Structure 1
Amino acid sequence: MSDELIFADEQDSRAEQQTQIPWKILIVDDDEEVHTITKLALRNFQFDGRPLVFLHSHSAQEGLDMIRKHPDVALCLLDVVMESDHAGLDMVPKIRDELRNTFVRIVLRTGQPGQAPEETIIADYDINDYKEKTELTRGKLHTLLYSCLRSYRDILALERNRQGLERILLASTQLQQKTFVQDFARGILEQISAILAPDEDALYAQCEGVAAHEESGRLTVVAGTGTYQHDIGKAVTDLLPDSAHAFIAGVETGFHAQHLDSGYFCLYRSSELHLSLLYLKGLTARNAMEKHLLEVFCQNALTAFENLSLRTELEDSQREIVFILGDAVEHRSRETGQHLRRVAEISYILAKASGLSQHQAVLIREAAPLHDLGKIAIPDAVLNKPGPLDPDEWAIMQTHAQHGYDMLHQSDKPILCTGAQIALDHHERWDGKGYPNGLAGTDISLAGRITAIADVFDALSSRRCYKDAWSLDQVKALFQKERGAHFDPDLVDLLMERWDEIADIKAQFPDR
């Protein structure tokens, strides 16, 4: 974190309130005078600006109950001999093992040192010191308190760092489950609160912020919370304070973070035209540990966000290439409408309705435009013949399914693999009378069965060079007639259930 970090007054007030929380000191001794003398010797003692508060127990069992009730006891001053000659010794493993309290510092005190030799006790018991009661003068008691409380404070700091790291790992895992840039960016904003304030009230935990990404020099909002939730797509320069603009302009490549007067600001610049940005309005870190956690999480999150953005850009390029390939075939067929887009969207609706996951449905939508790719190998005289095809021409036309598969199936890319299967199967029939392989029923891939319905629906309801468009009533009658013959009966039922939604696709993507 930069040395130039500035923290708001709110952080100072929180820290000031925290300093008033007292250190809990538990005295376990059956001699009431020991309790009185210890309190008297430490009556004005403070450590890190925090006073002491004393808890009292007069037996080992009372001591265990007290630690169970107050697990945040910092120091236990424990007598060895109480209800038995080794009651204090027996209490130590119960604190560590039964109560699982490894944080409390334990100092054994004894008035009979011969009964429990120091070397044996230190070696065999998880304690921090072993003292004779006669040697605990006021000065030595103060020294002991400083040593034990400093150790307890540092152990807690290590534990908070460990918990913070766990929260970072958990947040990172949850973020990795998000596959879309906007979801991922919003996830970053949501996880900040979980890392810095998992137990705080909603007012503190729900920070307001924006996540933005720059492509080709345009920095726009991709996710927002609070007052920024409706600003997606807007230019970030219109939303950020003036102090942030100079910061953006001045940074080189890499990760940079800074606390501005208005909140926390960080960015990751991978190149001159690629920048990921995170701004959290009014957010302040309350201590050095939170500053470190915030920076570590944001650095990793923005790096992952950049990688996801690049992957999304690559996938968008693949989708665009798929439509370009499909569109090239459509132009060669002298069809310049939006057949491909409509087939893709209808296929997506049917895929979702059939119970496929979002990922599988999207994959079918993206691959469906490749269903007729093999027509690129069909001669113009056959492809664009205005009238019916003769048997030889029809045989040539039927080869386009195999041609499309042959072009695509060698790729290991999911879109192209799915496209290959769709190209091969979308002219198969449920009754086995289709082509090219005469497959029947569920031997036909689900992607092929879905795209077949989408393709026929749009082809019949659209004008072609060899026919006029059918009415939607005529198309519906055809599907009802061919249910269980040409088409998968279950998919036809889903088509009928969503007929109006699918029919609206034609209005959304009309022919040019």
Structure 2
Amino acid sequence: MNNQKEIVYKEVLKDLQPDRILAIIFEYMSKVSMENDLDKLLMILADLGKKLVVADRCSVWLHEPSEQTIWTVAAHGIEKIIISQESGFVGHSITTGKVVVVEDAYLDERFNQEIDIESGYRTCSVLCIPFHNSSGAVIGTFQAINKMTAQGIFNEKDSEMLGLAATYAGKSLESAILLNEIIETQKEMLETLGEIGESRSQETGNHVKRVALYSYLLAKLSGISEEKALLLKHASPMHDIGKVATPDSILLKPGKLTSDEFEIMKQHAVIGYNIFKNSQRDLLRTAAIIAYEHHEKWDGTGYPNGLNGEEIHIFGRITAIADVFDALGSHRVYKQAWKMEQIVAYMTEQQGKHFDPILVQLFLDNLALFIAIRDQHSDVG
């Protein structure tokens, strides 16, 4: 064990002085107050804990009582982990609400060695501090691993410092969890509504799923940030939600629509926009944009507003490519599914006409990736 400690503590540090502790707390209070993304918040709090107690690693674990699990995305050096709420020092801290201080993890029967075995890491000293919500219930815990000072073990001062951070973390995480639940509910609602809308035109829910995945992939390939690409992915199921107001006689007509019928059909873009246009939520505002603009065309011949080129929001331009690609390859009441060579020929011919020329070329250059998504989420079976 001593040899192992020499490896773990090859960089021996000193405990922080009071002025440095205060500086770190104020620095991270600012970061926490500006972050609403739950995963990112967990990482920020883990960094805070790591610095405060001079640990090699620190993670923030959250409790999922309904599933009897605990999970983290904020463990330094490892990926997201989900374990039983009874597992290890973290599980003990969460289920009992008690602080856990351990000098040598391998001499304690509560230690779960599985993570060390999988990662090749060696846990020595451990400090776990639970944090609570406004009702006093334990919702998670800090876990600091391997004190990086010469002594190599966590002390009472470390418990006080991490306890202070836990008090602040509990309130911040409670707010973030509630916001995250709202966002997840919105995502679920949009996907369900999208499937309902597609079912009216006798299409499967897999259409909206594929369009969402195509849109996300094309957004990432085009250089759009992960945050905006995810907004597009989660909002895109609403692209044709306005069809819920389109009469069946038009929506399900097997032949070509008359001019008057097509004018009625085109109103679904406006209806979809009107459903979401007054929302202040980013996800629903994105849904409004997509519903409104995904039938616009690069050359200005689309609807409902005849926008052209970059007047069309990039979310609309991306969804147009994703929607047409999937529609052409799918059986509809008014047509049979096209073969892939026909689809490629059409999308190539429509470059700079229907589609943004740069985006559609990027799509065609990465066609195999989109075909893989289509095959994985096929309507068959």
TM-score band, normalised by shorter chain: 0.7 to 0.9
- Measured after TM superposition, the shift of residue 380 of structure 1 is 1.0
Bigger relative CO (Cα 8 Å, ≥ 6 apart): 2
Residue deviations 1:238-273 (CA, integer Å, cap 9, x gap):
3338xx63x54454xxxx645367532222343698
Q: State the alpha-carbon separation in 1 of the partners of residues 239 and 192 from structure 2.
A: 13
Relative to 1, partners in 2 of residues 1:337 and 1:231: Cα closer, same or farther, differing over 3 Å?
closer
Residue 136 of structure 2 is aligned to residue 267 of structure 1: no
1:381-416 CA distance string (max 9 Å, x none): 111112222222212111111111112111111111
1:56-75 pair list within 5 angstroms:
none
- Once the two structures are superposed, the pairs formed by residues 114-133 of structure 1 within 5 Å of their partners are none
Aligned-CA RMSD value: 2.9
Change (3 A) 1:179 1:413: closer
**Helix, strand or coil at the partner of 1:442:** helix
8 A Cα contact 1:408 1:416, kept in partner = yes
Q: Percent identity, aligned pairs only?
A: 33
Question: 2-side partners of 1:208 and 1:412: how far apart?
Answer: 36
Q: Which residue of 2 aligns with 1:236?
A: 85
Match for residue 358 of structure 2?
490
What corresponds to 1:469 in structure 2? Answer: 337
> What are the ranges of 5 or more consecutive residues in structure 1 without an aligned counterpart?
1-9, 11-17, 19-156, 198-204
**In structure 2, distance between residues paired with 1:407 and 1:195:** 48
Q: SS at 2:317's partner residue? A: helix
| Candidates 228, 250, 265, aligned match of 1:397 | 265
- Alignment partner of 1:220 out of 70, 77, 81: 70
Which residue is equivalent to 1:137?
Answer: none
* Aligned equivalents of 1:508, 1:309: Cα separation in 2: 32
1:436 equivalenced with 2:308 (yes/no): no
SS at match of 1:438: coil
- Aligned match of 2:284: 416
Instruction: Pick the aligned partner of 1:285 from 124, 137, 154.
Output: 154
Aligned 8 A contact 2:127 2:159 in 1: no
**CA 1:463 to 1:325, structure 2 compared with 1: closer, same or farther past 3 Å?**
same
Number of the residue aligned with 2:224: 356
Q: Which residue of 1 aligns with 2:20?
A: 163
Q: Is the 8 A contact 2:89 2:128 kept in 1?
A: no
The equivalences for 1:221-370 within 5 A come to 221-223=71-73, 225=75, 229=78, 232-240=81-89, 245=92, 248-251=94-97, 257-259=99-101, 263-270=126-133, 275-281=139-145, 284-286=153-155, 288=157, 290-370=158-238
My pick for the range that moved more, 372-381 or 355-364, is 355-364
Once the 2 structures are TM-superposed, how far is the Cα of residue 509 of structure 1 from its aligned partner? Answer: 1.8
> Larger Rg: 1 or 2?
1
Contact kept in structure 2, 1:212 and 1:222, CA below 8 Å: yes
Count residues with an aligned counterpart: 341
Q: Does the Cα contact within 8 Å between 2:290 and 2:319 map onto a contact in 1? A: yes
Give unmatched runs, 5+ long, in structure 2.
Answer: 6-12, 106-125, 148-152
Q: Residue by residue, what CA displacement relative to the aligned partner does 1:20-75 show, whole Å, maximum 9, x if unpaired?
A: xxxxxxxxxxxxxxxxxxxxxxxxxxxxxxxxxxxxxxxxxxxxxxxxxxxxxxxx
In the superposition, relative to structure 1, how do residues 165 and 272 fare at CA in structure 2: closer, same or farther (>3 Å)? closer
Q: Is the 8 A contact 1:258 1:266 kept in 2?
A: yes
1:433/1:207 CA distance change after superposition, 3 Å: closer
